[in-house]
Every structure is written in C-alpha cells, then in structure tokens.
Amino acid sequence: MPKLLLIGSQGQVGQELLQTLPPIGEVISVSRAELDLSQPEAITELIETVKPNYIINAAAYTAVDKAESEPELAKQINTIAPAIMAQAAKSLQATLLHISTDYVFDGTKNTPYLETDPTNPLGIYGRSKRDGEEAIQAVGGRYIILRTAWVYGTQGKGNFVKTMLRLGQEREILKVVSDQIGSPTWSYDIAVRITEIFQHLEQIPTGVYHFTNSGVISWYDFAMNIFEEARRLEVPLKLQQVIPITTDQYPTPAKRPAYSVLSNQGLIDCLGTYPPYWRESLKKMLGELLG
C-alpha cells in the first residue's frame, strides 16, 4: 500500500484531503504545529523517516498583505521549504504534489491563464510562490505543481465566504471590490481533484497544472451570491446594501491581479473530467457549513 505524507493537514485544503486521500493509501499527516516549515532540517528528517511514495504540500504562507512586511518568512515557507521537499522526494523517487496560486500572474490578460504563460507576480506572496515553483522544477524529480485560486471552505480559519457571512450579520452596508475577476474554488473540490490525480498518476506527466471551479465572477458578484444563498438558508442577516467599489477605493499593502482566471484544460485533457461549476460548489459548501 502506498504511503502518503500530507504536510499542512489543518489548513482549508489539508483538512479536506484527510477525508479524500485514504483510498489511495496510508496517510501520514502533519500540521503546522507539528512541523515548522522554517526549519529545513526538520522537513528533511520527517521525509527520510516516513519514506513516503507521495508527498502533498498543502502548507503555505498565505497572508498576502502581511507578506509585504515579512518577506523572509514568506520565502522560508513558500520557496525554501518546497525545494527541500522536492530534493527529499527525488532522493526517495517519490512524487511531490505542491499547491500553488493564481498570484504568480500579474492579471493583465483577459483570457484564462495557461500553465505555459509567463509568470509575473505583483507582490511578495506571489513572488515567493513563483520562486517555490521554480525551485521544485530546478530540483527535477517527479512533481505536480497545482495552481488554484480564490479558495474557500468550511475548514480553516478565515476565507472570503466566512468573512462575508460574518460581516453580513454585523453590518447594514458592505463595500466589495468589483473589478477583480476570478474563479471561486471550494477546498473540497481541490481535495477531490488531487485524489483523482493520484488515482491516475501514470496519465499525468510531471509539470504545472491548474485547477479551479469552472465559471468566472467578480468578488462583488460572488458576495451577492453568498448573501442570496445565506438568505435562502435563513441566515439572519443585518445587511441591507452591498456597494461595488474599485480596487483603487480599497487600497491594500499588496497589489492583486485584476484578472486571475486559470485555464483547467491541462488536467481536463489528462483526466477527461471537468471541474464543478462554482455556484453549485458554493451551495454545497454553505449547506455543509450552515445546515
């Protein structure tokens, strides 16, 4: 039976992977509390001890704005740690699956980004993730880099859906950015896709792939859909009005890509199955969260 090492087991995607991965093999999982990714020796020691067939790196430094003032920590976790995992995986002839992000792109396109499009991150977070991808590729070995975007779920601390629900119960008026476009993606669907990848690994060449839910929307329209579903599920909202604003009206320490839709075609070609539509996944997630 194959042995899978799941790093980042308590994050949004990690907690879902704990549910979806067991059919693949024996899952050994470690959380942030159990493995400090800023300690290179600890990563190597863990992998050499477990001797997994597959390593899934679902851990990351994801505080996009905070990264602007913590570049070294972002680099340690998002660039150096994945390179160490890749090196250890290569020495064991194991496969590394590493989760990356739409923030490796600058958002200047207006058609979905392909895996082969040039990267050009706008901030420290995106740069640290891009550098992590390149570090894994430089090591060689067997790897799958899976970029995703706009992740939300029932697990983990905070995400856009949970934040909107909380604010909708606290405030009468909300302002939400309407000129950033992407594909909201349910963490459970990511976990299912990763599990599919391991079930059909021989069909998937080493390389970079994208996975998001299908469909495209702005943060504003996504918020409107969240509130519509919340009302349908009889959540008591104080909210009266949602006002669309521009990115310029909501300045943040880190710049964000205005358009970060990712093309899913690479994995569709390999697996023959399509990602679920974002609206259906949102309904299921809210049903799970609020049901």
- Strand-pairing partners, residue 82, are none
CA distance 41 to 2: 24
**DSSP for 58-108?**
------TTGGGG-HHHHHIIIIIHHHHHHHHHHHHTPEEEEEEEGGGS-S-
Tokens standing for residue 246: 């521009």
Q: What is the CA radius of gyration of the chain?
A: 19
CA distance 291 to 284: 10
Judge whether 267 and 213 are in contact, CB under 8 Å.
no
Helix (H, G, I), strand (E, B) or coil at 111: coil
Judge whether 11 and 77 are in contact, CB under 8 Å.
no
Report which of 95, 12, 24 is spatially closest to residue 58, judged by C-alpha positions: 12
- Measured CA to CA in angstroms, residue 38 lies from 13, 54, 84, 93, 262 at distances of 20, 21, 11, 24, 30
Is 125 catalytic? The answer is yes
The residue from 54, 61, 113, 125 that is catalytic is: 125
23 DSSP 8-state letter: T
The sheet with strand 95-101 has its strands ordered as: 26-30, 3-7, 54-57, 95-101, 142-148, 207-210
| Contacts (Cβ under 8 Å, ≥6 apart) of 273 | 196
Instruction: Give the active site residues.
Output: 125
